[in-house]
Amino acid sequence: MSKQEELDAMKENFIDNIIDTWDEDVLRQFAFDSMFKYYEDYSEKQFKDMIINDYGIKELAQLMERMKSDRITVSYKDTPSSAS
């Protein structure tokens, strides 16, 4: 096993150990924070195009309809606190 493979295995084991201690709420918050950060720099057009390409126009239409009916506006400062 190469030094890089050993390091990668050590990282994987460490990450697995940390995740094993998290409950469902922490895992959900981490997933939310990670995904929000990933999409943070998308423009509206890029984000809508991604939804259409990955999930279809019907999903985008449903999302847009839910936003209209709920009259919600979400900004990063309104999201739950970071899991880290």
2: which 2 tokens?
């190469």
27, 19 Cβ separation under 8 angstroms:
yes
pTM more than 0.75 = no
Q: CA-CA distances (angstroms) from residue 48 to 21, 39, 42, 52, 55? A: 36, 11, 9, 6, 10
pLDDT of residue 71: 66
**Does a structural domain hold residue 74?**
yes
**Does a structural domain hold residue 4?**
yes
Q: What is the radius of gyration, based on Cα positions, of the chain?
A: 18
Q: CA-CA distances (angstroms) from residue 37 to 5, 76, 78, 79, 82? A: 29, 9, 14, 11, 11
**Does a structural domain hold residue 52?**
yes
Domain count for the chain:
2
Quote the domain boundaries for residue 28. Answer: 1-40
**Do 34 and 49 lie in a common domain?**
no
- Residues 54-82, mean pLDDT to the nearest whole number: 78
**Do 35 and 47 lie in a common domain?**
no
**Does a structural domain hold residue 84?**
no
39, 48 Cβ separation under 8 angstroms:
no
Per-residue pLDDT tens for 28-46? 999 999 999 999 999 999 9
